[in-house]
Chains A and B, each alone.
Chain A
């Protein structure tokens, strides 16, 4: 599929990388020739140097025949204009990155409709949503929600003295009454789709699918805390912090935001009257201690500087804050930060790349099922997809044990009319079900791709 990406910054580069890996024909457009050259050199795409709002440049990229046009420069207005022009020149679908709260809070529907945007993406908002989910269930390192919100996938790390350390999955099922499924395990950089005999070890990262109620039941019974964070400290008054703070405040959580910039603090106190805004140096440990970091349930570091986020997260851990979340933009730091013990890392660019990959795959498949969600797990080694089954689907109405599933794929859950089913061999997929599928090491476009 032909895709044009305007803007090759951090977000743009990640999008290009994942779309190229998906096998799309990608054209990268940017004003800065050295960035374009980098893209062409690193990823298998073609580059055009010039402005994304210049009609000549756009037609040079062949916009009239492209199926998807993505504008992800730093400027919302530029992205909107570029998408509008692309749409007028004949691009089939357009996606703009729009991150300013002004547009997002009130006018997004209006803008989308009038500019003919297929989708507006907001990395900051999506990152905030992901962090919010984790703060609702702080013992998990990651919480991914599926479309109807009554099914989720949580990732937990098996700690040393955990009761499930050294337990096989069959025993785990027998011991705990909760309905759940362990659908993927990451151990030393390798991803397993485990069967019943798989024995868990310390340090494994396991992904569990279940309904929120059952998840809580399970986590409680293996001795993990399931209370949501009630007292959260946020470092940095950025767009992400705004979205996160707003969600937390609405959910009744006490929020404290710290930022060194007086002006930004004032803006925040205007738009977030219920949060406590502190004007102080984020790197000054004295300030954090004074503001009671020791009594916080959670600490979220969202400044624009990765290094600062990592260091301050380490400091928070040393002050025994039970939940520490760090936003890290640069890929190189992710692995490093994980090594030194920061468990929950949120990377806006990966969230966005997942959204775009899903959208692009969704455009390609139109047979019998509709892709609703896609999450990449464990550095992209596995992915979870959510499909809405339509009436003419090939695999519907057959008991699951009769389906010949490919290796390393798994049907992780079925949602039928608000009821969640952890599937067994006798269950069937019916039309209008929502099915959650996990696949490691392969690309699934359509639900029927999981059978041989």
Chain B
């Protein structure tokens, strides 16, 4: 383990976070929020001190990063980011309990959007801004951002691979730095487009920014207690469509922009994603038609909820906890599936689901014809055996992790609504980085009633889900660190 290089890059990440915190600081200055201003200043000072000292003690000539280092850097970096990111909430006293603040920040960076705040509207503007900005940063990835700034060293690809979700990570252009830049440019342009469209629909600039950050990172933090329900149908449609857009693999936008758009039409993942959305919207619209008066409301509400859940954003325009069983079942399924690989969304990812089903098909065929030779085909190519195997492993681990999280939070004994439905949906929702669940954690409610222990468990679940399990396991497994095992 190249410990110095690990420390060095984490130092750079912490410094980057300090720079990013200048934006909420500016917001605090604009809205003249003195307490918030000081708490951001103090946090920036702490971040600079920590990051600077990491960098200072880790000067090294050996800059090589291998797969192991990549995972460890990503795993540790996200935890440190969240620890520093939650300081403004604690210092300003907006969220006095440390565990609450940590939960809120992890929920932000992992683009979950689960909140412990009972009254969101009481929060100061700059805190609201920071909360949503963590979505934007965490969505595409902090390390990807750092990669776009620093010159790449040998093996930087390993960092990118560890942070980007999905079974296979490809570069858009030969150089990693250019790829990272390109991803962020696409990301920024799309975000800006949404801000403009929202402003056009009469939403104030501040709220447009916050909601665009929430949509772009597929996070789900807003500024209102009832999420998006209070806004005009136009705004609801804009947000619904952008949630879908940010759930699509960013490679597709690259292909549309710079190369052949024809290749886009051949993307299996995109077609499956869009088909799932269409089928789900139709099913839910039919199932909920008796609740809403007219077709346009029914269609808008079902489309918004489907788009919000499959892209793992978590905004809502309706209390889907009160919907009929079938609709809730469909939504639960969408929570697990998630959006496309290479997007900012969480969940299992459509490409994994497709590969899992194709692999099942192959196994069945193999049982029928034991001597047959079968290859799994995906995106017009034979999928590599390694990829298929790792997807199967990931799915197994994914199930195990969710079950463990569910078990741990089931010890919970808080008064209202600590039941099977609440805990199960909370585990699924946090792990897949969605936010709202059913029951006591439904779209109109929050996670405030959970104990500190459960909040930590759920925070870990969010991190596991965002980083796709392995980086955290590797960062904390003894074999990575102990000399004996190396």
Of the 9-residue stretches A40-48, A220-228, A240-248, which lies at the interface with chain B? A40-48
Q: Mark B167-180, 1 if CB is under 8 A from A, else 0.
A: 00011011111100
The secondary-structure label for the interface of chain B is loop
User: For the complex, is B155 an interface residue (Cβ under 8 Å from A)?
Assistant: yes
Interface: A281 (CB within 8 A):
no
* In the assembled complex, B480 has its CB within 8 A of some CB on chain A: no
CA distance A25 to B178 in the complex (A): 10
Is B87's CB within 8 Å of the partner chain A?
A: no
Is A33 in the interface zone, CB < 8 Å from B? yes
Chain B residues near A24 (CB, 8 Å)? 174
Q: Closest Cβ of chain B: how far from A38's Cβ, in Å?
A: 11
Cross-chain contact A40 with B175 (CB below 8 angstroms)? no
- A42 contacts which of B155, B173, B177, B178 (Cβ < 8 Å)? B155
Report chain A residues within 8 Å CB of B178: 25
Q: Is B15 at the interface (CB under 8 A from chain A)?
A: no
Are A25 and B171 within 8 A (Cβ)?
A: no
Q: Could you mark each residue 135-179 of chain B with 1 if its beta carbon is under 8 Å from any beta carbon of chain A, else 0?
A: 000000000000000001011111000000000001101111110
For A1-45 the 0/1 string (1 means CB < 8 A from B) is 010000000000000000000001111000001000000111111
B413 to chain A, nearest CB (A): 49
A62 within 8 A of B: yes
B174:A45 contact, CB within 8 angstroms = yes
From B175, which residue of chain A is reached at the shortest CB distance? A44
Asked whether B171 lies within 8 Å of A46 as measured between CB atoms, the reply is yes
> Chain B contacts of A25 at CB under 8 A?
173-175, 178
Contact B174 A46 (CB under 8 A): yes
A26:B155 contact, CB within 8 angstroms: no
In B351-389, which residues have CB < 8 Å from any A CB? 384
Give the Cβ gap from B78 to chain A, nearest Cβ, in Å.
Answer: 22
Please name all residues of chain B whose beta carbon is closer than 8 Å to the beta carbon of A43 when the two chains form the complex.
Answer: 154
Q: Which residues of B contact A45 (CB under 8 A)?
A: 174-175
Judged by a CB distance under 8 angstroms, whether B259 is at the interface is yes
* Chain A hits for B154, CB < 8 A: 42-43
Please, which residues of chain B bring their CB within 8 A of the CB of A2?
174
| A62 and B152 contact, CB distance less than 8 A | no
Report B171-204 residues with CB < 8 Å from chain A CB: 171, 173-178
Inter-chain contact B384/A40, CB cutoff 8 Å:
no
Within 8 Å CB of B259, what residues of A?
62
Please tell me the size bucket of the interface on B. Answer: 10 to 19
- Cβ-defined contact, A26 with B157, below 8 A: no
State A42–B66 Cα separation when bound (angstroms): 9
CA distance A42 to B157 in the complex (A): 8
List A contacts of B176 (CB < 8 A). Answer: 44
A215 vs B309: C-alpha distance when bound (angstroms) = 78
Are the C-beta atoms of A44 and B158 separated by less than 8 Å? no
CB distance from A430 to the nearest CB of B (A): 39
Q: What separation, in Å, do the CA atoms of A33 and B387 have in the docked complex?
A: 12
**Which chain B residue has the least Cβ–Cβ distance from A40?**
B157
Q: How far is the CA of A102 from the CA of B154 in the complex (A)?
A: 40
**B171 smallest CB distance to A (angstroms):** 5
Closest to A50 in B: B381
CB contacts (< 8 Å) of B158 on chain A: these are: 41
Closest CB-CB distance, A25 to chain B, in whole Å? 4
A44 to B175, alpha carbons, bound, how many Å? 5
Q: Is the CB of B171 within 8 A of A40?
A: yes
A26 contacts which chain B residues (CB < 8 A)?
Answer: 174
Contact present for A44 and B384 (CB under 8 Å): no
* Chain B residues closer than 8 Å to A44, beta-carbon distance: 152, 156-157, 174-177
Q: How far is the CA of A62 from the CA of B158 in the complex (A)?
A: 25
Contacts of B67 on A, CB cut-off 8 Å? 41
Contact in complex: A41, B384 (CB < 8 Å): no
The secondary structure that dominates the A interface is: mixed
Q: Which of B156, B170, B173, B175 has the most CB of A within 10 A?
A: B175
Residues of B within 8 A of A40 (CB): 157, 171
Measured CB to CB, the closest approach of chain B to A255, in angstroms, equals 43
Looking across the interface, which residue of chain A has its beta carbon closest to that of B384?
Answer: A33
CA distance A44 to B174 in the complex (A): 7
CA gap between A26 and B171 in the complex, in Å: 12
Closest to B176 in A: A44
Closest to B172 in A: A46
The residue in chain B whose Cβ has the minimal distance to the Cβ of A19 is: B174
CB distance from A256 to the nearest CB of B (A): 44
Please measure, in the bound complex, the distance between the C-alpha atom of A45 and the C-alpha atom of B154, giving whole angstroms: 11
Give bound CA distance, A156 to B173, whole Å. 44
CB distance from B25 to the nearest CB of A (A): 35
* Chain B residue, CB-CB nearest to A24: B174
The smallest beta-carbon distance between A379 and chain B, in angstroms, is: 15
Q: How far is the CA of A427 from the CA of B294 in the complex (A)?
A: 91
Closest to A46 in B: B174
Residue numbers in B under 8 Å from A42 (CB-CB): 154-155
A26, B67: Cα distance in complex, Å: 22
Highest count of chain B CB atoms <10 Å: which of A41, A45, A62: A41
Nearest chain-A residue to B64 (Cβ)?
A42
A41 to B176, CA, bound (A): 11
Does the CB pair A27–B174 fall under 8 Å? yes
Which residue among B154, B174, B176, B178 has the maximum number of chain A CB atoms within 10 Å of its CB? B174
Closest to B171 in A: A46
By a CB distance below 8 angstroms, the chain A residues around B157 are 40-41, 44
B150 to chain A, nearest CB (A): 13
Structural contact, A46 and B155, CB atoms closer than 8 A: no
User: What's the Cα separation between A45 and B175 when bound, in Å?
Assistant: 6
CB closest chain-A residue, reference B385 = A33
Could you mark each residue 339-353 of chain B with 1 if its beta carbon is under 8 Å from any beta carbon of chain A, else 0?
A: 000000000000000
Q: How far is the CB of A23 from chain B (nearest CB, A)?
A: 8
Min CB distance, B254 to chain A, in Å? 12
Shortest distance between the CB of B445 and any CB in chain A (Å)? 46
CB closest chain-B residue, reference A21: B154
| A41 close to B155 (CB less than 8 A) | yes
Tell me, rounded to whole Å, the shortest Cβ–Cβ distance linking A161 to chain B.
Answer: 35
Q: Which residues of A contact B155 (CB under 8 A)?
A: 41-42
Closest beta carbon of chain B to A398's beta carbon, Å: 35
- Closest residue of chain A to B258, judged by CB? A62
Task: With both chains docked as a complex, state the minimum distance between the C-beta of B52 and any C-beta of chain A, in angstroms.
Answer: 28
A2 to B384: give the CA distance in the assembly, Å.
28
Give CA–CA (A40, B154) in the complex, Å. Answer: 11
Q: How far is the CA of A2 from the CA of B178 in the complex (A)?
A: 13
Give min CB distance, B363 to chain A, whole Å.
23
Interface string of B383-400 (1 = CB under 8 A from A): 010000000000000000
Contacting pair A46 B156 (CB below 8 A): no
Which of A26, A40, A44 neighbours the largest number of chain B CB atoms within 10 Å of its CB?
A44
A24 to B175, CA, bound (A): 8
Cα distance A93–B152 in the bound complex, in angstroms: 28
| Residues of chain A within 8 A of B152, CB atoms compared | 44
State the CA gap A444–B171 with chains docked (Å): 29
Q: How far is the CA of A27 from the CA of B170 in the complex (A)?
A: 12
Cβ of B161 to closest chain A Cβ, rounded Å? 9
Interface residues of A in 59-88 (CB under 8 A from B): 62
CA of A26 to CA of B177, assembled, Å = 13
Residues of A within 8 A of B170 (CB): 46
Query: B residues within 8 A CB of A41?
Result: 67, 155, 157-158
Closest to B177 in A: A44
Taking the nearest CB of chain A, how far is it from the CB of B349, in angstroms? 20
**Once the chains are docked, how many angstroms separate the CA of A105 from the CA of B171?**
42
CA distance A44 to B150 in the complex (A): 14
Q: Determine how close the nearest CB of chain B comes to the CB of A208; give it in whole angstroms.
A: 30
What 5 pairs between A and B have smallest CB-CB spacing? A25-B174, A46-B174, A46-B171, A45-B174, A44-B176
Q: What are 27 A-B contacts with C-beta separation under 8 Å?
A: A2-B174, A24-B174, A25-B173, A25-B174, A25-B178, A26-B174, A27-B174, A33-B384, A41-B67, A41-B155, A41-B157, A41-B158, A42-B154, A42-B155, A43-B154, A44-B152, A44-B156, A44-B157, A44-B174, A44-B175, A44-B176, A44-B177, A45-B174, A45-B175, A46-B171, A46-B173, A62-B259
Residues of B near any A CB (own CB < 8 A): 67, 152, 154-158, 170-171, 173-178, 259, 384
Given contacts A24-B174, A44-B177, 4 further A-B contacts (CB under 8 A): A25-B175, A41-B157, A44-B156, A44-B176
